[in-house]
Structure 1
């Protein structure tokens, strides 16, 4: 038998071999290319200029109504202020939601408290704020729902000099978490963080793996860890009954900055999506 490849010039033979390899490549690789983000790929959630990518929901007001200019951008910061409020605070708890929900991610931000506290707000709100995550969509909240069904990374600062008041705690409006191997009935679980002065910038990080592991980090130190966030518990009121399905795992949700009577400032809010 004649070996036909010997009759072909070398360049033509190389061309045929390359063509065979191209034709054998799986079609799915062309149709569904996998795009992997670099390890250092951070998404800036706050552009330092405006909150156009965010949505406000304040108790007693319709979604989108930023009553009293509660959430505003000044000096490159997101600021929570009450100088345009009049009369009693009247439970006007508010939240500023980033418009994209996330599931597995590493969130990093900085905060510091400011003056003056709105003194008709409940006493526990003094030097108290937080970050909500795995939250329900604000558009699913009735006008009179006070707190979103979510998990909160709570921020606190020193009230009385020398008294411990850790920050980076966990609170659970309308939710439950598993802590030390069992569902914990407490609304809030304290972290092991240090106590910080009100005017000190504090770096808070949150590492969330869907409905699995959640880690709180304050100024580079791990201060709290728990698992299996899920719908349940109390505290949230006047919600849509169709939303609160107790026992349902919280695999993803919205991220929101809190206003509850205490002025606070936020900066350098960024997020890295994690593989899962």
Structure 2
């Protein structure tokens, strides 16, 4: 049975601070999951899937699900760092998530799967301009560069720029993908899909 579990803490979800003259919106406060909503499929409570340890969000990887922001966002530059705990597996950064806490709502996934980081996928019926949507499958736009991930256990950096109907993805400073024709606003999320990993330094800055 598919079960939806939500953590929606009523304190402020984010804090806007000044960083080198750029407005920065912290999505993760380093202490708890204030400002996040958890959605999982069946079984365990949210607290068993997404936890905070040593200033990081630790993702169990099972069951499948996602931890999304309580607020929707329009144009932004998302910075997030991740590393695998043990054997590299699968996860993603979700952009432009539309209403509906099921697996999966309409969204664009920036793939973090080991060996494929930087691919873009349309889930829940989401499409990308010029990308074929196979019958019974999902549209996938493969990354344009060679693998730029770091060895297992090391921290990787993702920069995802969402402006209007376009998304641009950098992995460890390397341009890996671009797409257009997507929704212009939505939630942002971290995915649980496969194996354990950690996220840290999750924040937004303004897009020029």
TM range (shorter): 0.7 to 0.9
Asked if the contact 1:99/1:254 (under 8 Å) is kept, the reply is yes
Structure label with greater radius of gyration: 1
Question: What is the aligned partner in structure 2 of residue 154 from structure 1?
Answer: 111
Question: What is the aligned partner in structure 2 of residue 102 from structure 1?
Answer: 73
TM-score of the superposed pair, with normalisation by structure 2: 0.79
**Which of 125, 146, 167 matches 1:214?**
167
* Cα distance in 2, alignment partners of residues 254 and 67 from structure 1: 18
Question: What is the aligned partner in structure 2 of residue 59 from structure 1?
Answer: 41
Q: Is 1:189 the equivalent of 2:128?
A: no
Question: What is the aligned partner in structure 1 of residue 83 from structure 2?
Answer: 112
CA deviations on 1:189-214 (whole Å, 9 max, x unpaired) are 22124243221211000001122x21
Question: What is the aligned partner in structure 1 of residue 7 from structure 2?
Answer: none
Asked if the contact 1:176/1:183 (under 8 Å) is kept, the reply is yes
CA deviations on 1:105-141 (whole Å, 9 max, x unpaired) are 000010011136xxxxxxxxx611001110023xx33
Question: What is the aligned partner in structure 1 of residue 52 from structure 2?
Answer: 73
Please report how far the alpha carbon of residue 220 of structure 1 lies from its aligned counterpart in structure 2 after TM superposition. 1.2
* Cα distance in 1, alignment partners of residues 142 and 168 from structure 2: 13
Asked if the contact 1:113/1:127 (under 8 Å) is kept, the reply is yes
Q: How many residues get paired?
A: 183
Q: Is 1:258 the equivalent of 2:206?
A: no
**Which of 95, 119, 124 matches 1:169?**
119
User: SS of the counterpart of 1:128?
Assistant: coil
User: SS of the counterpart of 1:69?
Assistant: helix
* TM-aligned CA distance change 1:67 to 1:51, over 3 Å: closer
Asked if the contact 1:44/1:271 (under 8 Å) is kept, the reply is yes
Q: CA RMSD in A?
A: 2.2
Judging by fraction of residues, say which structure has more helix. 1
TM-score of the superposed pair, with normalisation by structure 1: 0.61
Asked if the contact 1:170/1:190 (under 8 Å) is kept, the reply is yes
Q: Unmatched 5+ residue regions in structure 2?
A: 1-17
User: SS of the counterpart of 2:86?
Assistant: coil
Question: What is the aligned partner in structure 1 of residue 92 from structure 2?
Answer: 130
* Cα distance in 1, alignment partners of residues 29 and 45 from structure 2: 19
Q: Unmatched 5+ residue regions in structure 1?
A: 1-36, 83-88, 117-125, 158-164, 230-249
